[in-house]
Chains A and B, each alone.
Chain A
């Protein structure tokens, strides 16, 4: 059979991520240090794991309602109100999903008609463009600038809007840059959007990992609530990646449409995970603070030391990534990462993997032990010194 003729054309047109070969090398190495994976290094706090286990002991093994357990949605509504001043009705405006990723997929599928344009600021996490394409949409990549610390500016947004623009993806705090948008930055964006019908997919999965300030959601701003779809989840805030627990909040008609899709494609999010999530919402705020404090220490250490060894890096105020500028080395970000991995056995991710605009940068994740981070810095220092020596020779010869 010629599967090229059989497989859906749209799916075939989507390029797979090229980063896999990199991980293949890494998996073979024994004493490698990985600052590559964007995942908390913490295990889910015990009381949350225990709640999941207890639910199994009690025999809670059936489907829940499509939108998620009522008590979980109630807790999510209370949490969003408590932490971010967001008001959502638990009964009609919250949908519990299989990770934030499903929420992003659903949001794009219910909003995008074929030919609609989706503005995707890059560098950013890799899923938005492909998911927009699979809904028949056309991703319009908007390249954020290092000198703005990878914020989205009103002028950049204005220039990217066309009559076909349907959705703006707002991925802050950002993976991979660690950049954030403050209230005043968001005010500028809101000003551009006011009076248009453009919807915003606000991916706030890293909201709790905001340092020295409080995360502000676009939905908090005047006139923005009715156009904003807020995606969040438990993976990053509560170190629950493997539980696959996310949620999405939006005006009622949008949630109703997403629930329809979710109902046919997923039925309901995993029951055990939902019970664990209830516990996370009820008694997990201290865990969040604890982990954030721990990440913050590593963040400050890594930023200070990368700059010290000559790898310029702006201070990221969110997520758990630093995004140093490697242009001074003269290497492309991919060859930088490949050589760094092969010569020093440390994995960081080429910025080019996160779309145009990422070239010239690499992403290092500091959700790793302080020991590993310190060792990685020492190896980076070594790598850069060797590189300079080699390049010096090349210049001389």
Chain B
């Protein structure tokens, strides 16, 4: 049921009954599929996308380019694991191109993030260099745009 995954990716708060009707499947089948996807970790979790700026909570996010020396047996995976185990790491990807890993780190303050890079990330054996880019403004995440709703006057036309 790939369509089920697409629907959930758009809005994971849809109740099973709605998903079932939208897919044209019985609710039990949808429930079973969900259970299986969760068990197989095809569905990793369900999270909200939040615009923290609106509630004035200070957060800082940085995108860090990391260069590493791959290890002979596990290649990049072993060293990657050493990095992503830290709670501060929000997302992480292996990259093609001029650096190896993209690490997205968030913290409460600039200092907190800088501290993480200097004292945790850089000293890890195999990490040969880092470049930290702080995110200044979020425009869009997961297809959702960070922008307050434009006030729109309600106007109706009979069509």
A and B assemble together: yes
Residues of chain A contacted by B22 (CB below 8 angstroms): 297-298, 300-301, 370
Residues of chain B contacted by A371 (CB below 8 angstroms): 11
Encode A28-44 as 1/0 by CB contact (under 8 A) with B: 00000010111100000
B154's closest neighbor in chain A, by CB?
Answer: A27
Whether B159 lies near A34 (C-beta < 8 A) is no
Whether A300 lies near B21 (C-beta < 8 A) is yes
A231 to chain B, nearest CB (A): 15
Looking at A16-24, A68-76, A267-275, A323-331, the stretch in contact with chain B turns out to be: A16-24
A371 to chain B, nearest CB (A): 8
Query: With A and B bound together, what is the CA distance between A394 and B1 in angstroms?
Result: 49
- Chain B binding site: helix, strand, loop or mixed by DSSP? loop
Residues 283-320 of A at the B interface (beta carbon under 8 Å): 297-298, 300-301, 304-305
**Does A192 touch B at the CB level, under 8 Å?**
no
- Chain A binding site: helix, strand, loop or mixed by DSSP? helix
User: By CB atoms of chain B within 10 A, which of A27, A38, A297 has the most?
Assistant: A297
B30 to chain A, nearest CB (A): 13
Residues of chain A contacted by B157 (CB below 8 angstroms): 37, 39
Q: A297-B23, A300-B24, A370-B11 are in contact. Are A39 and B159 (CB under 8 A)?
A: yes
B144 to chain A, nearest CB (A): 14
Query: With A and B bound together, what is the CA distance between A23 and B156 in angstroms?
Result: 6
**Does A26 touch B at the CB level, under 8 Å?**
yes
Q: Which of A23, A34, A37, A301 contacts B18 (CB 8 A)?
A: A301
Encode B35-71 as 1/0 by CB contact (under 8 A) with A: 0000000000000000000000000000000000000
Q: How large is the interface on A (under 10, 10 to 19, 20 to 34, 35 or more residues)?
A: 20 to 34
B15's closest neighbor in chain A, by CB?
Answer: A374
Query: With A and B bound together, what is the CA distance between A306 and B12 in angstroms?
Result: 23
Residues of chain A contacted by B155 (CB below 8 angstroms): 27
Whether A37 lies near B156 (C-beta < 8 A) is yes
**Does B8 touch A at the CB level, under 8 Å?**
no
Query: With A and B bound together, what is the CA distance between A23 and B22 in angstroms?
Result: 29
B157's closest neighbor in chain A, by CB?
Answer: A37
A149 to chain B, nearest CB (A): 19
B23's closest neighbor in chain A, by CB?
Answer: A297
Query: With A and B bound together, what is the CA distance between A241 and B21 in angstroms?
Result: 28
Encode B18-30 as 1/0 by CB contact (under 8 A) with A: 1001111000000
Q: Which of A20, A297, A301, A374 contacts B158 (CB 8 A)?
A: A20
Query: With A and B bound together, what is the CA distance between A27 and B154 in angstroms?
Result: 6
**Does A146 touch B at the CB level, under 8 Å?**
no
Whether B18 lies near A374 (C-beta < 8 A) is yes
A298 to chain B, nearest CB (A): 7
Q: A300-B24, A370-B11 are in contact. Are A36 and B18 (CB under 8 A)?
A: no
Q: Which of B15, B18, B24, B158 contacts A17 (CB 8 A)?
A: B158
Residues 113-155 of B at the A interface (beta carbon under 8 Å): 154-155
**Does B94 touch A at the CB level, under 8 Å?**
no
Residues of chain A contacted by B95 (CB below 8 angstroms): none
Query: With A and B bound together, what is the CA distance between A37 and B154 in angstroms?
Result: 12
Q: A27-B154, A370-B11 are in contact. Are A37 and B21 (CB under 8 A)?
A: no
Query: With A and B bound together, what is the CA distance between A103 and B154 in angstroms?
Result: 28
Q: Could you give 17 example pairs across A and B, Cβ below 8 Å?
A: A23-B158, A26-B154, A37-B156, A37-B158, A39-B157, A39-B159, A126-B158, A175-B159, A297-B7, A297-B21, A297-B22, A300-B22, A301-B22, A304-B21, A305-B21, A371-B11, A374-B18
The interface of chain B, by Cβ under 8 A from chain A, is: 7, 11, 14-15, 18, 21-24, 154-159
In addition to A304-B21, A353-B158, 13 A-B residue pairs with Cβ atoms within 8 Å of each other are A23-B158, A27-B155, A27-B156, A37-B159, A38-B159, A126-B158, A298-B22, A300-B22, A300-B24, A349-B158, A370-B18, A370-B22, A374-B18
Which 9 pairs between the two chains have the least Cβ-Cβ distance? A297-B22, A301-B21, A23-B156, A38-B159, A304-B21, A19-B158, A27-B154, A301-B22, A17-B158
